[in-house]
Copies of this chain bind each other. A is one copy, B any other.
Amino acid sequence: MQHPETGFLPGPRYTLPGTSGGPLAGLSFAAKDLFDVAGQPTIGGNPDWGRTHPVPTAHAWAVQRLLEGGANLAGKTITCEISLGILGYNQFYGTPPNPAAPGCLPGGSSSGSASVVAAGLADIALGTDSGGSVRVPASLCGLYGLRPTHGRISVAGLLAQAPTFDTVGWFARDAATFARAAAVMFGETLPSPTAPGGLLLAEDAFALADPDVAAALQPAAARLGTLLGGLTRMNLGEPGELETWAGQRNILQRAESWATFRPWIERENPTFAYNIARNLAGGSAITADQVAVARIVRRQVVDQARRLLEGGAILCLPTTPFVAPPLGLPLPEIDALQARIGITTSFAGLVGLPQLNLPLGTVGGKPCGLSIIGWRGADMRLASIAAALEAAAP
């Protein structure tokens, strides 16, 4: 597969004007090809999916919301197959370029959305995040990108994956544009950029990152601590526990993915890249007892997160433990990288917390992001903090 020149789907681009006079007037947006756009097939990065599902007759909720907000749809973007894949690979439509790290993977599964925003081809792009699919490409492509509080933004008209993990997020190049979109998506105005509990820095999560990535994010964390009136270094879990959480998150998400896709797979026996089929097959082998155990672990992590964050603290940690890896890696290396990413993304995913990537680090010229996480519903607070930090940038 040739690498495509942009993250837009190949072929003629489908565009739609936004409602005139809206708060997003003058902005363009792109939609990951998991979102329904009326009259266009939702292919979901897998030709067999597109072939075996009807062309939608209505826009997904998030597409409709941005159009009504006045943004113009600039096109649909390449996604990893049926949202599975965290580094951005797609053998059917091509792996989108990473404009911030040429020759490197863009991250995924919202690969094309991150790619077109980073390339300046759209101001905003819709993505989805079940296991990190907005946060990871935001970090690797150097963008603001939010995984919202689970359940706050409608997933109507979305090619679903794992219902207790699926969220609708978006990317922007700057915090001000990100916040404008956030105000429309949540229907709220920006709160003050404050955190009664100050900033918590998760040392155990930082320890999982490459040392140069961890170091590159320290200045931004320090500025954030100053903005929020204090920085407390702490650990999210006991030693090794983040890995354990990631394993349990993986069990829950893969069991849900299998339940979602099983009827289609058993009917159509679709074609997938080997590693995608392998992951689905792994999901099919998860037992009810494994799921029951993982649900208990999840409840425990939720309790722990509540104690940390419900009072209004903001947590920060590296979004990804490394910068964008090069294209062309063999599967065992891809597998190892994906496993590492899963450790830093699992906390917010398990608890359903909002997590915003701030593109405030670079290593060797490639971006890496610092994530801020708040308690449930703190999405606009995160946007406000990002905007304040940007406005105060040295």
Which residues in window 255-287 of A have CB below 8 A to B?
Answer: 265-267, 269-278, 280-282, 284
B residues less than 8 Å from A284 (CB atoms): 278
Set of chain B residues within 8 Å of A265, measured between Cβ atoms: 274, 331
Instruction: Indicate which residue in B92, B277, B331 contacts A272 across the interface (CB closer than 8 Å).
Output: B277
The winner among A91, A272, A277 for most chain B CB atoms within 10 A is: A277
User: Considering only CB atoms, which chain B residue lies closest to A331 in the complex?
Assistant: B266
Copies in the complex: 2
Size of A's binding interface in residues, CB under 8 A: 24
Q: Is A89 an interface residue (CB 8 A)?
A: yes
CA of A269 to CA of B330, assembled, Å: 8
- Tell me if B270 and A274 are in contact (CB < 8 A): yes
A187 within 8 A of partner (CB): no
In angstroms, how far is the closest chain B Cβ from the Cβ of A357?
27
Please classify the interface of chain A as helix (H, G, I), strand (E, B), loop, or mixed, using the class held by over half of its residues: helix
A173 to chain B, nearest CB (A): 31
Bound: A221/B224 CA distance, A: 84
Cβ-defined contact, B274 with A274, below 8 A: no
Is A240 close to B, CB under 8 A? no
Given A278-B278, A278-B281, A281-B281, A270 and B273 touching (CB < 8 A)?
yes
- Pick from B89, B92, B269, B275: contact of A273, CB below 8 A: B269
Q: Does A332 contact B (CB under 8 A)?
A: yes
Interface residues of A in 321-355 (CB under 8 A from B): 330-332, 334
Q: Which of A76-99 contact B (CB under 8 A)?
A: 89, 91-92
- Residues on B with C-beta less than 8 A from A92 are 271
Docked pose: A394 CA to B332 CA in angstroms: 61
- Residues of the B chain whose Cβ atoms lie less than 8 Å from the Cβ of A278: 277-278, 280-281, 284
How long is the Cα–Cα vector from A274 to B280 in the complex, in angstroms? 9
Within 8 A of B (CB), among A2-57: none
Give the residues in chain B near A281, CB-CB below 8 Å.
Answer: 274, 277-278, 281-282
Q: How far is the CA of A276 from the CA of B278 in the complex (A)?
A: 10
Task: Please give the distance in Å from A342's CB to the nearest CB on chain B.
Answer: 18
- Contact flag A272-B274 (CB < 8 Å), given A281-B281, A282-B281: yes
- Decide: B277 and A269 in contact? CB cutoff 8 A: no
- Max chain B CB contacts within 10 Å: which of A273, A274, A276, A282? A274
CB-defined contacts of A269 to chain B, threshold 8 Å = 89, 91, 273-275, 331, 334
Output the least CB separation between A45 and chain B (Å): 12
**Complex Cα–Cα for A274 and B261 (A):** 12
Residues on the B chain within 8 Å of A276, using CB: 277
> Complex: how many Å from CA A277 to CA B91?
15
When A266-B330, A281-B281, A282-B281 are in contact, do A274 and B271 touch as well, CB less than 8 Å?
yes
Structural contact, A91 and B274, CB atoms closer than 8 A: no
Residues in chain B near residue A334, CB distance under 8 A: 269
- Please give, as numbers and ranges, the residues of chain B lying within 8 Å of A280 by CB-CB distance: 274, 278
Tell me which residues across on chain B come within 8 A of A271, comparing CB atoms.
91-92, 271-274
A267 to B91, Cβ gap below 8 A? Answer: no
A325 to chain B, nearest CB (A): 14
Residues of B within 8 A of A89 (CB): 269
* 5 A-B residue pairings within 8 Å (CB atoms): A265-B274, A266-B332, A269-B334, A270-B274, A271-B273
For the complex of A and B, the 6 pairs showing the least CB-CB separation, nearest first, are: A277-B277, A278-B281, A266-B331, A274-B277, A266-B330, A269-B331
Q: Other than A269-B274, A270-B273, A272-B277, give 20 A-B pairs with Cβ distance below 8 A.
A: A91-B269, A91-B271, A92-B271, A265-B331, A266-B330, A266-B332, A267-B330, A267-B331, A269-B273, A269-B275, A269-B331, A269-B334, A271-B272, A272-B272, A276-B277, A277-B277, A277-B281, A278-B280, A278-B281, A278-B284
